[in-house]
A and B are shown apart, each in its own frame.
Chain A
Amino acid sequence: MMALLEVKDLKVRVEEREILHGLTLTVNEGEVHAIMGPNGSGKSTLSHVIAGKPGYEVTDGQILFRGEDLLEMEPDERAAKGVFLAFQYPVEIPGVTTMNFLRTALNAQRKARGESELMVPDFLKKVREVSKSLNIPQDMLKRGVNVGFSGGEKKRNEVLQMALFEPSLCILDEMDSGLDIDALRIAADGVNALRSPGRAMVVITHYQRLLNYIVPDVVHVMSRGRVVKSGGKELALELEASGYAQFEDAA
Chain B
Amino acid sequence: MPAVQETVERVKRIDVDQYRYGFETLIESDKAPKGLSEETVKFISEKKNEPAWMLQWRLEAYRRWLTMQEPTWARVDYPKIDFQDLYYYAAPKPKKTVSSLDEIDPEILKTYEKLGIPLREVAMLEGVEPKPGEEDPARRKIAVDAVFDSVSVATTFKAELKKAGVIFMPISEAIREHPELVQKYLGSVVPTSDNFYATLNSAVFSDGSFVYVPPGVRCPMELSTYFRINERNTGQFERTLIIADKGSYVSYLEGCTAPQRDENQLHAAVVELVALDDAEIKYSTVQNWYPGNSEGKGGIYNFVTKRGDCRGANSKISWTQVETGSAITWKYPSCILRGDNSRGEFYSIAISNGFQQVDSGTKMIHLGKNTSSRIISKGIAAGKSQNTYRGLVTAHRKATGARNFTACDSLLIGDKCGAHTVPYIEAKNSSATFEHEATTSKISEDVLFYCIQRGLSQEEAVGLVVNGFVKDVLQQLPMEFAVEAQKLISISLEGSVG
A interface, CB within 8 angstroms of B? 51-55, 74-76, 79-80, 84-85, 87, 90-97, 99-101, 103-109, 111-112, 117, 120, 123-124, 127, 138, 141-142, 144, 161, 165
Contact A79 B2 (CB under 8 A): no
- A95 CB to closest chain B CB (Å) equals 3
Chain A residues with CB under 8 Å of B455's CB are 76, 79-80, 105-106, 108-109, 112, 165
**Once the chains are docked, how many angstroms separate the CA of A85 from the CA of B106?**
54
| Interface pair B444/A104, CB less than 8 Å apart | no
A75 to B450, CA, bound (A): 10
Does B415 reach chain A (CB closer than 8 Å)? no
Which residues in B have their C-beta under 8 angstroms from that of A80?
Answer: 455
Given known A-B contacts A54-B445, A93-B468, A100 and B132 have beta carbons under 8 A apart? yes
Q: Once the chains bind, are A161 and B5 in contact (CB under 8 Å)?
A: no
Q: Are the CB atoms of B468 and A95 closer together than 8 Å?
A: yes
CB of A181 to closest CB in B, whole Å: 27
* Assembled-state Cα–Cα distance A99/B131 (Å): 9
Of A75, A96, A104, A105, which one neighbours B449 at CB under 8 angstroms?
A75
Contact indicator B464/A93 (Cβ below 8 Å) = yes
- Excluding A96-B467, A124-B132, 8 further A-B contacts by CB distance (< 8 Å) are A79-B455, A87-B450, A91-B446, A93-B451, A104-B4, A105-B451, A105-B455, A108-B454
15 residue pairs bridging A and B, Cβ less than 8 Å apart: A52-B452, A75-B452, A76-B457, A79-B453, A93-B450, A94-B469, A94-B471, A95-B467, A97-B133, A104-B4, A105-B455, A106-B455, A107-B2, A108-B455, A117-B5
Report how far A94 CA is from B409 CA in the complex, Å.
13
B residues adjacent to A (C-beta < 8 A)? 1-2, 4-5, 8, 129, 131-133, 444-447, 449-458, 460, 464-465, 467-472
The 7 nearest A-B residue pairs measured at CB: A95-B468, A95-B471, A109-B455, A96-B468, A105-B454, A79-B455, A108-B455
Q: Judging by beta carbons under 8 Å apart, are B468 and A99 in contact?
A: no
Q: Are B460 and A108 in contact (CB under 8 A)?
A: yes
Given the complex of chains A and B, what is the CA–CA distance between A123 and B133 in angstroms? 11
Q: Are the CB atoms of A99 and B132 closer together than 8 Å? A: yes
Residue numbers in A under 8 Å from B470 (CB-CB): 95
On whether the beta carbons of B8 and A108 are closer than 8 Å, the reply is yes
Q: Is the CB of A100 within 8 A of B131?
A: yes
Identify which of A91, A97, A127, A144 contacts B131 (C-beta below 8 A). A97
Report yes or no: B464 in contact with A104, Cβ–Cβ below 8 A.
yes
Given A103-B132, A104-B5, A123-B132: A79 and B450 interface contact (C-beta under 8 Å): no
- Compute how far the CA of A142 lies from the CA of B134 in the bound complex, rounded to whole angstroms: 9
Task: Give the interface centre of B129, B451, B460, B472 by most chain A CB atoms within 10 Å.
Answer: B451
B133 touches A141 (CB 8 A): yes
Residues of A within 8 A of B469 (CB): 94-95
In the complex, are the beta carbons of B453 and A144 less than 8 A apart? no
Give chain A nearest CB distance to B487 CB in angstroms.
13
The interface centre, meaning the residue of A104, A111, A161, A165 with most chain B CB atoms within 10 A of its CB, is A104
Given A93-B468, A107-B2, A108-B8; A165-B450 close (CB under 8 Å):
no
What is the CB-to-nearest-CB distance from A151 to chain B, in angstroms, rounded to a whole number?
16
Q: Residues of A contacting B450 with CB < 8 Å?
A: 87, 90-91, 93
Q: Which residue of B lies closest to A144 (CB)?
A: B468
Contacts of B8 in A (CB 8 A): 108, 111
* A84–B118 CA distance with the chains assembled, in angstroms: 44
Q: Which residues of A contact B464 (CB under 8 A)?
A: 93, 96, 101, 104
Looking at chain A's contact residues, the main secondary structure is helix
Q: In the complex, what distance in Å separates the CA atom of A106 from the CA atom of B460?
A: 13
Instruction: Return chain B residues, CB-CB under 8 Å to A91.
Output: 444, 446-447, 450
Residue of B whose beta carbon sits closest to that of A141: B133
A-side contacts of B453, CB under 8 Å: 51-53, 75-76, 79, 84-85, 87
Tell me whether A94 and B444 are in contact (CB under 8 A). no
- CB-based nearest A residue for B461: A76
Residue in chain A with minimal CB distance to B498: A54
Q: What is the minimal beta-carbon distance from B463 to any residue of chain A, in angstroms?
A: 9
Q: What is the distance, in angstroms, from B276's C-beta to the closest C-beta of chain A?
A: 36
A99 touches B133 (CB 8 A): yes
CB distance from B244 to the nearest CB of A (A): 31
Q: Closest chain B residue to A85 by CB distance?
A: B453
CA distance A94 to B443 in the complex (A): 12
CB distance from B309 to the nearest CB of A (A): 33
Cα distance A112–B455 when bound, in Å? 8
Which residue in chain A gives the minimum CB-CB distance to B471? A95
A94 and B446: CB pair below 8 A? no
Closest to B131 in A: A100
Contact A108 B457 (CB under 8 A): yes
Chain B residue contacts of A124, Cβ below 8 A: 132-133
Contacts of A117 in B (CB 8 A): 1, 5
Q: In the complex, what distance in Å separates the CA atom of A106 from the CA atom of B486? A: 19
User: Bound state CA distance, A144 and B456, in angstroms?
Assistant: 17
| CB closest residue in chain A, given B130 | A120
**Distance (whole angstroms) from the CB of A204 to the closest CB of chain B:** 15
Q: How far is the CB of B1 from chain A (nearest CB, A)?
A: 7
> Which single member of B2, B129, B446, B472 contacts A95 (CB below 8 Å)?
B472
Least distance between B415 CB and chain A CB atoms (Å): 15
Contacts of B444 in A (CB 8 A): 91
Chain B residues with CB under 8 Å of A103's CB are 2, 132
> In the bound complex, what is the Cα–Cα distance between A101 and B131 (angstroms)?
11
Please measure, in the bound complex, the distance between the C-alpha atom of A125 and the C-alpha atom of B33, giving whole angstroms. 64
Asked if A100 contacts B447 (CB within 8 A), the reply is no
Contact call B131/A105, Cβ cutoff below 8 A: no
Q: Are A93 and B460 CB-contacts (below 8 A) given A85-B453, A99-B131? A: no
Least CB distance, A59 to chain B, in whole angstroms: 21
Which residues on the A side are within 8 Å of B458 (C-beta)? 76
* Cross-interface CB contact of B465 among A93, A123, A138, cutoff 8 Å: A93
Of B1, B446, B465, the contact of A96 (CB 8 Å cutoff): B465
Which residues of B are found within 8 Å of A79, using beta-carbon distances? 452-455
Judging by beta carbons under 8 Å apart, are B452 and A76 in contact? yes
Cα distance, A108 to B457, chains bound together (Å): 8
Contact among B2, B129, B446 with A104 in the assembled complex (CB-CB below 8 Å):
B2
Interface centre among B447, B453, B465, B469 (most CB of A within 10 A): B453
- Which of A106, A117, A120 has the most B CB atoms < 10 Å from its CB? A120
> Nearest-CB distance from B128 to chain A (Å)?
13
Separation of A138 and B237 alpha carbons in the complex (Å): 51
Give the residues in chain B near A161, CB-CB below 8 Å: 454
**B5 & A107 in contact (Cβ 8 Å cutoff):** yes
- Which partner residue on chain B sits nearest A105 by CB separation? B454
Residue of B nearest to A89 (CB): B446
- Which chain A residues border B447 with CB–CB below 8 Å? 91-93
Q: Kindly list chain B residues whose C-beta atoms are within 8 Å of the C-beta of A96.
A: 464-465, 467-468, 471
What residues of B have a CB within 8 angstroms of the CB of A54 in the complex? 445, 449
Chain B residues with Cβ below 8 Å from A144 are 468
A104 and B460 contact, Cβ closer than 8 Å, known pairs A91-B444, A95-B467, A96-B467 = yes
